[in-house]
Chains A and B, each alone.
Chain A
């Protein structure tokens, strides 16, 4: 029973939980139910990945309507991996949320907060599961609308403005995507991705198809915060509640990168892309983005904003792999998708623990706290090493494949850019460490009252920190699944 409806349950379970949580009284019940649901979804996602990691494909017909008329959920190794990331991060973050949310969000909004969080999870998982491009848009809107609500709950007043601006920009992106889908539908008469993939090749020369692709690509470039369409991201991540920042930074942009991957390689096919300026555009934007955003990160005065700019730079690494369009490049993209979720999740959660004790994420308020909160500090150090790409951490594996891919293509300039980016990462991570450990304490926060963060925050953070180290040595899950996924994304290469 569960086996056959696995793919549907992953989406429906959080969807049904959301209204239940919303009507529960404020207290710990909403948190408890959400946590349990997130864990069961994670279990289901693990089972799903085990099913498809051998190379077979799950095709689930929603309501028994056969595709291309009905909605199809189509799972291969690529979706299963992304669904695993999203549900895995959720499963780690929900336990963490209890304390952090109690501190940062007024009591009367708790049940609504968890309901919105569940909806956001539904939307992100739905995007990964579905094989229908309009259905994807629907889930995109579910996740976006709920995340606007989540971001607006931040403590500072700027949170509302940040959320509002993200709403406007995000809606522009979603509309662009919808325009693209509409054009595709007008030309082919279908919304099923596999069906589209079959009908598109004969229309490759058609300008409408090119325009449709341009709209979809720009729309999602905005959602995944590709430089220079990243302007919504730093404000949104800085002012959102710590839990929301940790969750969105580890999942939202990753899911958008996945959609880009799916649209480019499964729906349109790389042979279409090669005859358009897309790959060149990606490479140029990524190179400029990596350098400029890393550089911006160095000059930030707020730890969350610093990491946000670093996120935009890291998105550049993921999109580089797509721009290469080679097996190694896509491996790097998928592996970095996974690893970046681990490192940014760990780092933002550790910053959240600092915010829990200090009430601010600005660097001047954090100076010298590393000595009072050694475990949180150690988590930031290890997460930071992974972000730099030091051997023995997950970050090294991603950089390694990316550099190999660039060398294979003989793009020497990009090799230099990747290494320069790592050097800049050393500087901004060092800035965090220097502030936390080597600067003297700021007296205005009464440092002697600061204690180590509670275990409820530390344990989930350290789970991700260990994952960073574990996946730095064992690459069977990440690289293995990525290779399996690429066999389907790039048929004919293998």
Chain B
């Protein structure tokens, strides 16, 4: 027993954020490290005993643990526990612990406070039992995480942060609108299955879609994540999209549309990732690709697929975090993360290079690494439900992942031609954090039964059979062959410092350009019109001033005159319409 069982898990994080404000040095570090550890133990010792751990077909809520507050006649449920929220609860505690260890050398209050508030908001969101509470933490995620982007303190990151915030707030506004509409339609704000049969469902799906980076709504992610600090990106990569995946899994399981959206998400980022030079942006694209697998799983909606989706979310946080950490370490030491400028770093950062390879193997779903045990669940479910063509798309995407994340990242950063850069190995705390993540990747990959025991829905599945392993290995080897051959022939897109045009071009360049052109056009028309009016007005004034009437000219000051005009217009207009209304009544 650590704390009372009803204590919502976000509270320790928010309190710790306050404490961090008033402490410094070692005391602050101890508070930072203790928060996720104690919080995790709280979940394990206080909360888990109340949750029925036997997997079932439907989610069972632990009724004893409900924590509700009534705010102006609405019930806000801050604590609602079942196996789904518990799984994400564990995940976020692990992720925040790793990220905190990784960022332990940082002396920046804003980043540390924002990081804790961000992790706390994510926990608040997954344990929220109703849509209003979800909305509160949804906005909390947006407002706290933007400081992690601004923490880089460059002109570019400030602008990026504002664009990021606009997207996130838009998602929040949509969620609120959806929640209110949902309340109006059903009389309840409870957050369970929602579906897309109603307007409310569409609004909420769109809100979730922005946060989980659906195609055309994804640009905030690839725009913002690479602009954060080396440590900030590790936090960012863990929470926002995974909260969205959680919300989709609870609100829209089995929605057919999601299968197609998910399949698109797995494929399109690959092309961008291959030609992108900034290695952290490559990882951002690969993040969309991985979330695509999860969205597919949710869309299929069978127990196996849903389990696969959430298990993949679990693994993705860890291996994607590991990759972001290794790239962050390179950025921290070298000060630059462009593929074209790096190379040969394995000589000076051998440990980081090795850890990066572990992460790369996991994301490429090599057997015995964590990506394999969860991705294969989604793929199998896809076949079982008869989506053969989509299955081929996912297969292509898997090969693509190996290309851009599995080979490209370690190859261009640590091997390739020697760039001559000689730096120190990453700091110890970074190495420890990466080590923890790497151990988890291999542990889950070899002993998947422990992860499977946590999965919410009832299913029997074991990934290590002949077909899976062989099929996966074949994909990987042919993919590797393609990489080697393309490189040898000089056909592989070289690492260039260039700007790659994504959908965001349409609102960052096209829209402003259209606006500028139409503004100029309007301006010209306006000028012309004004000139004509002015000239005739001046002519009129000359005549007027020459006449006797000018003596009665009332000194006109702008607001009063215009105001009287408006009064006259409104009174007159009102009375005319009123007479019309009376006339209608008479007939």
Query: Chain A residues in contact with chain B, CB under 8 A?
Result: 161, 165, 168-169, 172, 176, 205, 207, 210-211, 214-215, 217-218, 221-222, 228-229, 231-232, 235, 275-278, 281, 390-392, 397, 403-404, 407-408, 415, 419, 422-423, 426, 438, 473, 475, 479
Contacts and interface: CB of A to CB of B under 8 A. Distances in A.
Interface in B561-586: 562-564, 566-567, 570-571, 574-575, 577-579, 581-582, 585
Given A229-B570, A275-B581, A391 B575 contact: no
Contacts of A231: 559-560, 562-563, 566
Nearest to B564: A172
Given A210-B579, A392-B136, 11 more contacts: A205-B585, A207-B579, A210-B575, A232-B559, A277-B581, A281-B574, A391-B135, A391-B139, A407-B184, A423-B169, A426-B169
Contacts of B566: 228-229, 231
A275 B571 contact: no
A272 to B, nearest CB: 11
Contacts of A404: 180, 184
A210 B177 contact: no
Nearest to A401: B72
A384 B230 CA distance: 32
Nearest to B576: A277
A383 to B, nearest CB: 17
9 contacts: A168-B560, A218-B570, A231-B562, A275-B581, A276-B581, A403-B177, A407-B184, A419-B176, A423-B173
Given A404-B180, A422-B173, A229 B567 contact: yes
B578 A210 contact: yes
A205 B578 CA distance: 11
A228 B562 CA distance: 10
A391 B564 contact: no
B582 A172 contact: no
B5 to A, nearest CB: 25
A415 B581 CA distance: 27
B68 interface: no
Nearest to A399: B176
A397 B74 CA distance: 12
B581 to A, nearest CB: 6
Contact of A475 (B72, B135, B158): B72
Contact of A205 (B184, B567, B577, B582): B582
A13 B176 CA distance: 47
B557 interface: yes
Nearest to B577: A277
A482 to B, nearest CB: 12
B571 A214 contact: yes
Given A415-B177, A473-B71, A210 B184 contact: no
A228 B568 CA distance: 12
A228 B563 CA distance: 8
A211 B578 CA distance: 9
B135 A214 contact: no
Contacts of B139: 390-391
B472 interface: no
Interface of B: 71-72, 132, 135-136, 139, 158, 169, 173, 176-177, 180-181, 184, 557, 559-560, 562-564, 566-567, 570-571, 574-575, 577-579, 581-582, 585
B582 A207 contact: yes
Contact of A235 (B559, B562, B567, B578): B559
A397 B169 contact: no
Contacts of A211: 575
Contact of A218 (B560, B567, B577, B582): B567
Contacts of B562: 231
Nearest to B173: A419
Contact residues of A: prevailing secondary structure? helix
B121 to A, nearest CB: 13
B77 to A, nearest CB: 15
B160 to A, nearest CB: 15
B517 to A, nearest CB: 21
B582 A210 contact: yes
B578 A214 contact: yes
A215 B567 CA distance: 10
Nearest to B71: A473
A244 B567 CA distance: 26
A397 B139 CA distance: 16
B8 to A, nearest CB: 16
A403 B176 CA distance: 10
Interface-centre pick from B158, B181, B567 (highest chain A CB count, 10 A) = B567
A422 B52 CA distance: 43
A446 B426 CA distance: 45
A287 B393 CA distance: 48
B133 to A, nearest CB: 10
A426 B563 CA distance: 29
Contacts of B177: 403, 415, 419
A168 B579 CA distance: 30
A172 B567 contact: yes
Contacts of A419: 173, 176-177
Contact of B570 (A221, A415, A422): A221
A222 B562 CA distance: 13
B559 A277 contact: no
Contacts of B158: 438
A275 B570 contact: no
Contacts of A403: 177, 180
Nearest to A415: B177
B276 to A, nearest CB: 30
Contacts of B582: 205, 207, 210, 275
A71 B139 CA distance: 53
Contacts of A479: 72
Contacts of B72: 397, 473, 475, 479
A275 B567 contact: no
Interface-centre pick from B71, B158, B579 (highest chain A CB count, 10 A) = B71
Contact of B557 (A165, A172, A217): A165
Contacts of A473: 71-72
Contact of A277 (B71, B184, B574): B574
Nearest to B169: A426
Contacts of B169: 423, 426
Contacts of B570: 218, 221, 228-229, 281
A221 B177 CA distance: 30
Contacts of A165: 557, 559-560
A168 to B, nearest CB: 5
Nearest to A278: B574
Contacts of A215: 571
Contacts of A214: 571, 574-575, 578
Given A391-B139, A422-B173, A426-B169, A218 B563 contact: no
A473 B69 CA distance: 11
